Structures are given as C-alpha cells and as structure tokens.
Amino acid sequence: MMLLELGKDLILDYTLRTVALGSATLGVVSGALGCYAVLRKQSLLGDAISHAALPGVALAFLFTQSKAPLVLVCGAAIAGWVATLFVIGIVNNTRIKEDSALGLVLSVFFSVGLVLLTVIQKMPTAKQSGLDTFLFGQAAALLERDVVTMASLGGMTLMIMLFFWKEFKLLCFDSAFGASLGFPMAVLDVLLITLLVIAIVLGLQTVGVVLMSAMVVAPAAAARQWTDRLGGMVVLSAFFGAIAGVGGAVISSSAVRIPTGPTIVLSISAIVVFSIAFAPNRGLVWNWVRSQRERKKLQIEVVLNDLYTLASQHADLQHSHSTAVLLAMSANRGNVRHSLRELVSLGWVENVNTDEWALTSEGVIKARYIAERQE
C-alpha cells in the first residue's frame, strides 16, 4: 500500500518527481563513470575533485551574484579541473606521491571553499542564503530546469563515454600497449578525467561536496561484485546509482530537514554491503560456503585414504577397521565420525559392526583414484 502511494506520488507530485528524476540522473552518470575511476584505482581523485569544487561554487557566486545552477556548476567544474591539474603537477614535479598530493589538494581547496562560504554568509545581501546546501546536498531545492540541465549534460557525458568505449577500455587496462598502437593516451586520460569532473559536479547540488565521492566509488564497487565484464559493470553501476539516488532523495524529502547527501549515501552503502556479502563468486558468503565445502571434501578424502591404506595391508581391500584406529590415524582431528557418516551416505563406506567400517567396492575405486591423483 505504502509503495503504491509512493509510486503515485513519484508520478503525480511535482516536487517529488523532480527530485527523483534529478537524483536518478546523477546516480546513472556518476555510477557509469565511477567504474573507470575505480578500475584505474583513482577513487580518491573523485574525492579531491568534489571537495575542490566548493571554492569554485563560492567564487562563481561572488563573481556573478547569481545562483543559477548552470553558473555554479561551471564554477565547480573549473575548480575541480584545476585541482586535478594541481595533483598531476605535484606528482610529476615533486617527490610527493599521488595519495599525498590528493590529500593536500583536497584539504587546501576545501578550506578555501569553507572560508569563502563563511564570507558569503556574512554579506549583507539576502541572496546568498542556500549556498551552504552545497555542503551536504538538498535535492528538494531542485527545479525542473535544473533536472533538464543535469540530464542533457549527463547524457552528453555518457555519449562521449560510449563513443570512446574501446579507447577508454585500453586506457584503463593497458595504457602502455595503447600508446604503442598510436593512441594518444595522455589526451584520452584528460578526456576521461574531464568526464569524471562533469559527472561529479552534476551531483553536487543534490549530494553535496562532502559525500559526492561515495557516488563515484560505491556503485562501481558494488557492481564489480556481480559481473566480470566492463559493459555489465558500467550498466549495473549506473543502475545501482539510480536506485540509490531515487531512494535517498525520497527518504530525504519525506522526512523533515535531513540533507539528501547522507540519505543517498546510506542507500548506496546498503547496496554495497549486500553486494560484498552475497554476490556469487566474489561475495563473502559465497567464499565461506566454498571454503567449507572444500574443507569437508578434504576431510572426507583423508578418512577414505586412511581406510584404504589400512585395508591394503590385508588381502581383502574391504577389510573393516574400527573408529578408534581411524581417529588415531588423523590424530583426533578433522571430524572423523562426521566424515564417516558422509562417506556412508555417498555409498563409499559401509558400517559393518556398530563401530567397524569398511570400504565398499565403489569406495575402493574412489580411494585408488584419489591416491593416484596425489602422486
């Protein structure tokens, strides 16, 4: 019932619909491009870009006295871009490593942004209010034209990504090989980072500079758990981003005064936790089950092997032996009784007396096979 209500609201309620569409757009764009950042181990770059965007927003407002999203987003993009150039410059020209360079640039730009924001707050005009929503995001402030701007910019970004699909894949997987083929890898690198900057600044108004990097990293990390193909990863990551965006925006606008950033990030975190735990092949639960199965199989093989070794000292390979002997052989470790029950249910061992066990003919064949494999 509640879901039905919600669905109706999403379609009919203007505010909620705008908020949901905007959040879905940012989720799709940052989810898709985030894959490249994650695969290139540049997750922190997203963090630096988003934090660095804050002074850009503030300066754009100071210079233009306008709060039009396009103006602020442009300021954010330029600042994010400049920050990236600083990082690259520091890495290339000093002995400071990339992680430290990212940390430096992030904190310096963010502090400048905070100072500027405080200055703007203290200005005597009334126009400045609302700029601080860029810190933690406020999806409820989205207007239809904002969403149109986001969707067209985001759509363009995704088109470029698809256009250079093959080249970007080469850049992420084996850049040196790509360069040997004659592709200008440095140019592609700058292009891909530019797309990432656009993806990040698109989400700033909704998610905020503090948490935006989560929307770059988290959907991609979750998607990687479920698929082994780049295409699948990008699609799934975009999908996760959209779900988290809409979910977070709806939660934020239905409760009073919760900023959108944290709710969106909590939504995507839930998806990440679920993916890390339950995804087939790479998930923790799956791994645990697999290792248990392997362990059990190994234990069974040990007992079968012991029985075979014992029996081969008799003329009859199906000669029976007591549990005590088997226990002694495996030094009371490895769950011998349980393994024996398993072996009986497999039909490889039979229980002769209450406490005596013998190989069946099928068990002899199995034991021989295992013994040969071990040699």
Binding site for another protein (CB under 8 A): 39, 41, 163-167, 169-170, 172-174, 176-183, 224, 227-230, 232-233
Q: Return the amino acid letter for 314.
A: H
Give the residue with the Cβ less far from another protein, 176 or 315.
Answer: 176
Give the residue with the Cβ less far from another protein, 6 or 190.
Answer: 190
From the CB of 340, what's the least distance to another protein, in Å? 35
Residue 349's beta-bridge partner residues? 359
Q: Radius of gyration over alpha carbons of the chain, in Å?
A: 30
From the CB of 102, what's the least distance to another protein, in Å? 19
From the CB of 202, what's the least distance to another protein, in Å? 25
Give the residue with the Cβ less far from another protein, 12 or 176.
Answer: 176
Residue 207 CA to residue 54 CA, distance in Å, equals 13
From the CB of 180, what's the least distance to another protein, in Å? 4
Give the residue with the Cβ less far from another protein, 73 or 271.
Answer: 271
Q: Return the amino acid letter for 375.
A: E
Tell me the backbone φ, ψ of residue 348, rounded to 5 degrees: -95, -20
Strands 349-351 and 356-359: antiparallel
The closest alpha carbon to 326, from 293, 295, 351, belongs to 351
Give the residue with the Cβ less far from another protein, 237 or 267.
Answer: 237
From the CB of 374, what's the least distance to another protein, in Å? 20
Q: Alpha carbon of 301 to those of 305, 329, 335, 369: distances in Å?
A: 6, 13, 12, 11
Three-state SS string over 3-51 comes to: HHHHHHHHHHCHHHHHHHHHHHHHHHHHHHHHHHHHHCCCHHHHHHHHH
From the CB of 326, what's the least distance to another protein, in Å? 36
From the CB of 175, what's the least distance to another protein, in Å? 9
Give the residue with the Cβ less far from another protein, 41 or 337.
Answer: 41
Place of tokens 């019932």: 1
Chain-centre distance for alpha carbon 320:
55
Tell me the backbone φ, ψ of residue 32, rounded to 5 degrees: -65, -50
100: which 2 tokens? 């430290």
Give the residue with the Cβ less far from another protein, 75 or 178.
Answer: 178
